[in-house]
Amino acid sequence: MKPRDNLMTYQSKTKARLHAINVLQQRNSRSKLWGLGVFLTMSVAMGVSSILVGNVIKFSKANILLSSKQPLLVPILVNGVLLSLYLALLASAGISKEYDKGTLETLMVGPVDEISFVIGNFLAHLKVFGLTLLAALGWSYLCIWLLNFSPRPDIIALLFANLFMASELIAFGVLTAVWGGKTKNALIYFILIILFLSGIQLANSVVASIVQIENAHVGNSLILVRNVLTTTNRFIQWISPYSQVRYAMQSILDQRYFAYLLSMGLMVLQTALLLIGSVLSLKKKGVRGIV
Amino acid sequence: MKTGLTVETKNLTKRYGNFTAVNHLNLDIKAGESYGFLGPNGAGKTTTLMMLLGILKPTEGEVRISGELVSSDAFNTKGLIGFVPENQSFYEEMSAWEYLMFFAKLYQTERPKERGQEILEHLDLWAWRDVLISGYSNGMKRKLGFARATIHSPDLLVLDEPIAGLDPLGIIQIRELLMAEQERGCTLLISSHILSEVEKTVNRVGIISKGKMVWQDTMENLQQWVTEKQHITITLSSVDNEIIAGFRSLPFVQEVISEGNSLCLVMDQAGDYREDISRFILQKNLILLEMKEEKTTLEEAFVNITENNVQDLTGETER
Ligand SMILES: Nc1ncnc2c1ncn2[C@@H]1O[C@H](COP(=O)(O)OP(=O)(O)OP(=O)(O)O)[C@@H](O)[C@H]1O
Ligand SMILES: [Mg+2]
């Protein structure tokens, strides 16, 4: 048996992979864009941010999020938080559905490998997020124009922070899908992990405020709880994209550009790790979920 | 005409715990060949195909497609394979046309629209091209699976139980499609548990049972083997040893198996011996109650083979 003469070079393999990524990305993003969910989530985001902006304008002393400095960043932030979460869920559901139903098998028999499948799906959802971000930006500028605010030049930096936050969440959605296998499991993993992390953050702030208020009276045990929570919380803040994007936004408002870049770098690093983890576990589990 | 891919396995084995689904299987499918991969339910056909396609990892042994080891990033080879799985699932929210064009793009098909139209028209799905796949019947989905698997004019077409769930017209349409692919030079690998299903399409058959290859030969040889002998059963009013010996002494009778008053005469296929048998019965003054010819069908042969009776008959069994 003579080996095929056209064994692929590294370069042609990369080219083939990029092609697969592109085709998968197009199909997925198109189907998501036609879906009602994205528009609904966007409308909710715009609605919520309109109320917030309205409040800020009415009671300009109220300190809602970063709005005291720039109310018009609110739409972008609210849009970012809601849509990144929604799209990460969609990514998780979409991938696990392919896994579950066996359409992934059909793809992988053809010119698709684990890397192109994971990246293709990731990019599709990120692309949709990017488009909604542009819509939010448009909305912001409309407000700026209507309300006679002066536009901020650093808005682009904030957009990027949002984009990176979404990329981390979507990559997280991809990983839970690969882990969960079945759509139901994937979503449960996704929601549980998010709830757990935000639960700790919430508990931390509650306990911290109690400890602060009743400083003199609290016992040692509560102090211990607070310390554990604070430490855990500090760790979560490093991995939570929401905390990171808050830092990034705060840094840019304070003109601390190095801190901004640090947050961005951290989000990129975590996205990369999540994606690599997804590819490796998909390789390990196999397309049929059997080792 | 292009050259099809070859498929070669060495000691291909898959174990699930203690259970061995595929057991040291050696396949050697040549370029452009049409190979029938047969075996009863649970024999290990699907498991084997999944390993060939890189979907399942073998426990032992290796698979080479045209010399290249199967791996998930063997884009070149994978782009030349078409596969119709046993139970296919689709993107139900897409129309058939969107679905086909998505795969055409993925496989970088030349002239995808013309090719897509050609196939859909042939399969009577052209009028349904814009209907969502969720609205398709089972048979229509089956056909669409074929359309997807052949849209890129593959060099190796792997089919797992291809005609299950199709109506007679559908079977003919699919068969024509397969013939056309084969004429183009495409290698076909068709798994089935019904021999007659692939009889018309394949030139060579491999039969596996309990994960092991128990028979492998050309379709012609298999048919010849099956039709080599003819069996005629006669029922007489009474039978004794002398009568049996008398039948045995006839030159054209190779073997006599008696069961009560019935005798099964095994003969070669060279001629019609019914007249000679009647004459012999008259000569001996016997009373004939019934005479019937029993044809061994391919299907019976297949059952025989898979029940491992084949060892005694051929001596060709792989160990
Ligand atoms: N994931 C699995 N875990 C354990 N056993 C399995 C698994 N998949 C298949 N098997 C076993 O391997 C054997 C071969 O299965 P396979 O699906 O390959 O049979 P087949 O020849 O395709 O049968 P059919 O004609 O019914 O499709 C069966 O006994 C099956 O129970
Ligand atoms: Mg099977």
- Chain B residue with the nearest C-alpha to that of A101: B89
Does A8 score more than 70 pLDDT? no
Q: Are residues B174 and B285 in the same domain?
A: no
* CA–CA separation, B107 and B117 (whole Å): 17
Q: Locate A67 and state its tokens.
A: 């709005």
Residues B249 and B305 both lie in one domain: yes
Q: What pLDDT is stored for residue A211 in this prediction? A: 66
| Subunit contact B93:A2, Cβ cutoff 8 A | no
**Degrees (nearest 5) of the Cα angle B276, B281, B286?**
175
d(CA B226, CA B302): 9
Residues with CB under 6 A from ligand 1: A 290; B 16, 19, 21, 39, 41-47, 86, 193
d(Cα B115, Cα B126) in Å, to the nearest integer? Answer: 12
Q: Do B75 and A8 touch (CB under 8 A)?
A: yes
Euclidean distance between CA atoms B8 and B62, whole angstroms? 8
Q: Are residues B29 and B141 located together in one domain of the fold?
A: yes
Contact residues, chain A, for B83 at CB < 8 Å: 106, 109-110
Residue B129 near residue B122 (C-beta atoms within 8 A): no
Note whether B66 and B166 are same-domain residues: yes
Nearest Cα neighbor of A266 from A249, A247, A246, A244 is A244
The pLDDT value recorded for residue A111 is: 94
Question: A224 versus A263: which is more confidently predicted?
Answer: A263
Share of chain B above pLDDT 70, in %: 92
Record the tokens describing residue B307, joined without a space. Answer: 């029940």
Mean pLDDT of B297-305: 69
Q: Is it the case that residue B61 has pLDDT exceeding 80?
A: yes
Q: How many residues in chain B?
A: 319
3 state SS for A124-171 = HHHHHHHHHHHHHHHHHHHHHHHHCCCCCCCHHHHHHHHHHHHHHHHH
Nearest chain B CA: its distance from A143 CA (Å): 38
Q: Is B2 a domain residue? A: no
Work out the number of other CB atoms within 10 angstroms of the CB of residue B87: 11
State whether B51 and B186 are in the same domain.
yes
Tell me, what CATH number does B168's domain have? 3.40.50.300
A290 domain-assigned: no
Residue-wise pLDDT tens digits, B141-163: 999 999 999 999 999 999 998 88
Q: Which of A6, A20, A103 sits opposite B91 (nearest CB)?
A: A103
Rounded Cα distance, B168 and B145, in Å? 17
Of B8, B76, B81, the CB nearest to A109: B81
Domain boundary among B210, B240, B272: B210
- Whether residue B59 lies within 8 A of chain A, CB to CB, comes out as no
Do residue B163 and residue B246 come from a single domain?
Answer: no
Choose the mutation target among B14, B68, B106 for the interface with A, i.e. most A CBs under 10 Å. Answer: B106
Q: Is the pLDDT of residue A67 over 50?
A: no
Query: What is the rounded (10 degree) CA torsion for A27, A32, A33, A35?
Result: 130
Instruction: Look at residue A138 and tell me if it is in a domain.
Output: yes
Domain region containing B282: 225-313
Residue B38 shares a structural domain with residue B139:
yes
A30 CB within 8 Å of a chain B CB:
no
Which of B210, B242, B263 is at the close of a domain?
A: B210
Residue type at position B17: G
Tell me which chain B residue has its CA closest to the CA of residue A16.
B75
pLDDT at B307: 66
Instruction: Please indicate if any CB of chain A lies within 8 Å of the CB of B64.
Output: yes
Instruction: Name which of B75, B133, B157 to mutate to probe chain A: the one with the most chain A Cβ atoms within 10 A of its Cβ.
Output: B75
Helices A36-58 and A10-34 cross at an angle (nearest 10°) of 70
B1 found inside a domain: no
Best-predicted range by mean pLDDT among A82-86, A250-254, B142-146, B194-198?
B142-146
Classify residue A21: in a domain, yes or no: yes
- Ligand 1 atom nearest to CA at B19: 5
Range B46-73 average pLDDT: 91
Higher pLDDT residue, B217 or A291? B217
Same domain, B92 and B182: yes
The mean predicted confidence, pLDDT, of chain B is 87
What is the rounded CA–CA span in Å between residue B154 and residue B174? 15
Claim to verify: residue B299 and residue B204 sit in the same structural domain: no
Nearest-neighbour CA in chain A from B98: distance (Å) = 9
Burial of B186 by CB count in 10 Å (0-12 exposed, 13-18 middle, 19+ buried)? buried
Model confidence at A20, pLDDT cuts 50, 70, 90, reads very high
**Least confident piece of the model among A107-116, A232-241, B273-282:** A232-241
Residue A291 lies in a domain: no
Provide the 8-state DSSP code for B115. Answer: H
How do residues A126-172 score in pLDDT, each as one tens digit?
A: 999 999 888 888 877 787 777 766 666 677 888 888 899 999 999 99
Residue nearest to ligand 1 atom 25, measured at CA? B41
Whether residue B175 sits in one domain with residue B28: yes
Instruction: Return the DSSP state at B132.
Output: B
d(CA B55, CA A291): 11
Total count of domains within chain A: 1
Q: Do A17 and B68 touch (CB under 8 A)?
A: no
Query: If we measure between CA atoms, which residue out of B223, B226, B243, B227 comes closest to residue B235?
Result: B243
pLDDT at A164: 92
User: Per-residue confidence at A192, pLDDT binned at 50, 70, 90?
Assistant: confident
Residue B186 pLDDT more than 80?
yes
Domain region containing A273: 3-285
What CA–CA distance (Å, rounded) separates A190 from A85?
Answer: 10
Give pLDDT, residue A129. Answer: 92
pLDDT grade, residue B254 (50/70/90)? Answer: confident
Q: Is residue B167 part of a domain?
A: yes
Residue A24 has pLDDT above 80, yes or no: yes
Residues B198 and B155 in one domain: yes
pLDDT over 90 at B71, yes or no: no
**Nearest CA of chain A to the CA of B49: how many Å?**
11
Q: State whether residue B56 sits within 8 Å of chain A by CB.
A: yes
Q: Could you identify the atom of ligand 1 that is nearest to the CA of residue B50?
A: 18
B250 and B156 in a common domain: no
CATH code where residue B283 lies: 3.30.70.100
Assigned domain for B262 exists: yes
How near does any CA of chain B get to the CA of A96, in Å? 13
Does the model's pTM come out above 0.95?
no
- Higher-confidence position of A57 and B130: B130
Residue of B nearest to A98 (CA): B91
Question: Rounded to the nearest whole angstrom, what is the distance from the C-alpha of residue A175 to the centroid of ligand 1?
Answer: 29
| DSSP states of B208-235 | EETTEEEEEEEHHHHHHHHHSEEEEEEE
Q: Exposed, middle or buried, B60 (CB in 10 Å: 0-12/13-18/19+)?
A: middle
Burial of B139 (0-12, 13-18, 19+ CB in 10 A): middle
Neighbouring C-beta atoms of residue B185, cutoff 10 Å: 14
pLDDT of residue A66: 45
Work out how many domains chain B is built from and give that number.
2
